[in-house]
Amino acid sequence: MTTRITAAARPLPAAEIAVPFADCDITAEAQAAVLRVLQSGWVTTGREVAAFETEFAAAVGAEFAVAVSSCTQGIELALRSLGLPPGSLVLSSTMTFCGAVQAIVHAGHQPVLVDVDPVTGMPTPATVRAAVQSFGRPAALTVVHWAGDVADVPALAEAAGVPLDHVVVDAAHALGTYAGDAPIGSGPGATCFSFYATKNLPLGEGGMITTDDAARADWLRGARLHGMTADAWRRYLPGGNWRYNVADAGLKANMTDIQASMGRAQLTHFPSWQRRRAEIAAQYDDRLAGLPGVGLPHRPAPGEGTHAWHLYPVRLRLHGGIDRDEVIAALSARAIGTSVHFIPVHRLAYFSQTALIPSAGLTGADALFDQLLSLPMYPRLTGQQLDAVCTAVTDIAHEGISGKGTE
């Protein structure tokens, strides 16, 4: 006899509170900044981008920041900046967004997928060494700070036999993450951030690469705009010269002044947004701790760093035959949005054929994937909305444990 969650089929009571999974807060200041740029006569890459780069670099403790069109393009450019031979092996967690692995492919290299610890959702030195033993030493390594948690970048680089300046950090989830006392974005190598609509600093689209290497930053600024030696802003400034050269194979991956003006305004709200995310995570912890069949997210141990709480991913191990998708349907019936981060890359058709996958499989990621559920997490989540989520999850967990609703 299989347990079914009866809430999935019942009509939504009018009094229930709708809780979307994500909420993109474009502040009044950001909206006003966009209008100012629209009225300025210059809307593409220019002074706003340059100012946003300076302010963002200061916020994460980096020497340089280069604004780009997306985190995905940032990862590709960061890999291209290494000048690796075509077809070089590049390690990537399989528990990441598909775009991060597409970036390796489009940079001209061979992705090698690495298994994860089911507790943290991230690779370990042991899983990295297993991939190296299967396919050989890689030329580079990408590291994702999954959900906003802290990955041990030096330990993973050492296990891969890769120098730190050949590590590309995927910090799409990690604006606000700290490794020890250092914000993610500082230090050697290149770190790539996302400003997608769901991220901790939402612009809708956009990305940033940070680095402490001046020569690398200069190369990235040219490569993000076709490899040209001078962008339009510099050419059209009073006294500028219309001439330019093309030094390298580049991309069309620049950020506009419209986006950058939003970013500068949004950045002033970022500290308070992060405090609110931490409050929400603590409230989830208090309400869901000890709930049968619901595992709380991993978080850094004291001294390891600070979680950015981009996501709040719980692990479901409910009894009675209830699976994750039934829980999603039951929560949806209560007007509560959820998501799953991520479908492991090796389960996606294209990468199952093109990426290198250890013959033993990626069992840690497979075990984790079937349990994952991301709950709503954003600064404008109200106390009533959070209460609605926790009440619903509690009801569903107890229904599964007690066997109510069995057929």
pLDDT tens for each residue of 280-310: 999 999 999 999 999 999 999 999 999 999 9
405: tokens are 């609703």
Q: Are 268 and 29 in contact (CB under 8 A)?
A: yes
The percent of residues in the chain predicted with pLDDT above 90, rounded, is 86
| Residue 302: strand, helix, or coil | coil
Q: Average of pLDDT values for 192-218?
A: 98
What pLDDT band is residue 233 in, cutting at 50, 70 and 90? low
176/174 Cα distance (integer angstroms): 6
Residue found by looking up tokens 């770190």 in the block: 191
In this predicted structure, what is the pLDDT of residue 319? 76
What pLDDT band is residue 400 in, cutting at 50, 70 and 90? low
Mean of per-residue pLDDT scores for the chain: 93
Q: Average of pLDDT values for 311-323?
A: 88
What pLDDT band is residue 3 in, cutting at 50, 70 and 90? very low
175/38 Cα distance (integer angstroms): 28
In this predicted structure, what is the pLDDT of residue 237? 72
Q: Which residues pair with 210 in a beta bridge?
A: 65, 191
User: At CA 3, angle to CA 298 and CA 9, rounded to 5?
Assistant: 95
User: At CA 229, angle to CA 225 and CA 235, rounded to 5?
Assistant: 90
Q: Are strands 372-375 and 312-316 parallel, antiparallel or unpaired?
A: antiparallel
Handedness of CA 109, 79, 260, 148 (dihedral sign): positive
Examine the pLDDT at 136 and tell me if it is beyond 50: yes
Active-site annotation holds for 199: yes
| Residue 362: strand, helix, or coil | coil
Neighbours of 290 (CB within 10 A): 7
Peptide bond into 270 cis (omega under 30): no
Residue 104, φ and ψ in degrees, nearest 5: -65, -45
217/203 Cα distance (integer angstroms): 23
272: tokens are 């308070």
Contacts of 101 (CB under 8 A, 6+ apart): 92, 111, 113, 345, 351, 355
150/309 Cα distance (integer angstroms): 11
Examine the pLDDT at 276 and tell me if it is beyond 60: yes
Q: Which residues pair with 112 in a beta bridge?
A: 91, 356
Q: Average of pLDDT values for 77-98?
A: 98
Model's pTM, two decimal places? 0.94
254: tokens are 């620049």
Q: Average of pLDDT values for 63-77?
A: 98
**Cα 159–chain centre separation:** 23
For 154-182, the DSSP string reads HHHHHHHT--GGGEEEE-TT-TT-EETTE
Residue 305, φ and ψ in degrees, nearest 5: 150, -160
Read off the pLDDT of residues 26-44 as tens digits, 9 standing for 90 and up: 999 999 999 999 999 999 9
In this predicted structure, what is the pLDDT of residue 378? 98
What pLDDT band is residue 7 in, cutting at 50, 70 and 90? very low
Which of 8-17, 137-146, 148-157, 221-230 comes out lowest in average pLDDT?
A: 8-17
| Residue 114: strand, helix, or coil | strand
- Strand spans (E) along 187-279: 190-194, 207-211
Examine the pLDDT at 109 and tell me if it is beyond 60: yes
Examine the pLDDT at 10 and tell me if it is beyond 60: no
222/336 Cα distance (integer angstroms): 44
123/101 Cα distance (integer angstroms): 15
Name the catalytic one among 199, 221, 307, 315: 199
